[in-house]
C-alpha cells in the first residue's frame, strides 16, 4: 500500500507535467481497500485497481488522511506496533484533520486503466508471467 501510494503520487505528477503534486494516503489504501493488504505486505495490483476505481485521498503530513504511525516508532517499526494499530484500523470516509479544506470524497485522486495496463505489461515482460 505504501509503495502504491508513492507510485500513484508520482504518476499524477508526471501525467500533469508537475502541475499537480500530491502525496497520496497509504492509510486510505490500507484501511479501505479490501484485499489490498497491510503496511507489512499486500497486493500491489489490487491497490492500483483500487486507485482507478475508488480513488485515493491525500496523505503525507498535512493531507486528508495522514500516515498514522509515529516516526518515533523507528525504522522499521516493531511488528507489535503495526499489529496493534492494524487492529484499530477502520475505513473512515472522512478527512482526519478538521482543518483540512476538502471533504473525503472531494479529495479523491483517480488513476486510469492505461496506467494499470502499462504496469501489467511491464510485469508480463519482466517476470514472464
Per residue in 7-49, pLDDT (tens digit) is 899 989 988 999 999 999 988 998 899 888 765 667 888 898 8
Domain assignments of the chain as residue spans, ordered by start: 2-127
What are φ and ψ of residue 47, in 5° steps? -65, -35
Kindly report which listed range (42-51, 83-92, 93-102) carries the lowest average pLDDT score: 83-92
* CATH 3.40.50.970 is held by the domain 2-127: no
Q: Note the pLDDT of residue 84.
A: 63
Q: Which residues pair with 41 in a beta bridge?
A: 38
Report whether 95 contacts 64 (CB < 8 A).
yes
Judge whether residue 81 has pLDDT over 90.
no
Mean pLDDT calculated for residue range 78-106: 76
The CA distance from 117 to 21, in Å, is: 23
Angle at 55 between CA 53 and CA 59, to 5 degrees: 155
Amino acid at each position: 500500500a505504501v509503495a502504491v501510494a508513492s507510485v500513484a503520487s508520482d504518476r499524477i505528477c508526471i501525467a500533469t507535467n508537475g502541475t499537480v503534486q500530491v502525496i497520496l494516503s497509504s492509510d486510505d489504501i490500507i484501511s479501505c481497500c479490501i484485499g489490498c493488504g497491510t503496511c507489512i505486505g499486500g497486493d500491489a495490483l489490487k491497490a492500483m485497481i483500487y486507485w482507478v476505481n475508488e480513488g485515493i485521498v491525500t496523505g503525507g503530513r498535512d493531507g486528508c488522511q495522514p500516515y498514522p504511525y509515529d516516526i518515533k516508532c523507528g525504522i522499521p517499526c516493531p511488528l507489535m506496533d503495526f499489529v496493534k494499530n492494524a487492529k484499530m484500523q477502520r475505513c473512515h470516509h472522512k478527512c482526519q484533520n478538521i482543518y483540512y479544506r476538502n471533504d473525503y470524497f472531494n479529495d479523491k485522486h483517480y488513476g486510469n486503466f492505461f496506467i494499470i495496463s502499462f504496469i501489467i505489461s511491464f510485469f508480463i515482460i519482466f517476470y514472464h508471467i
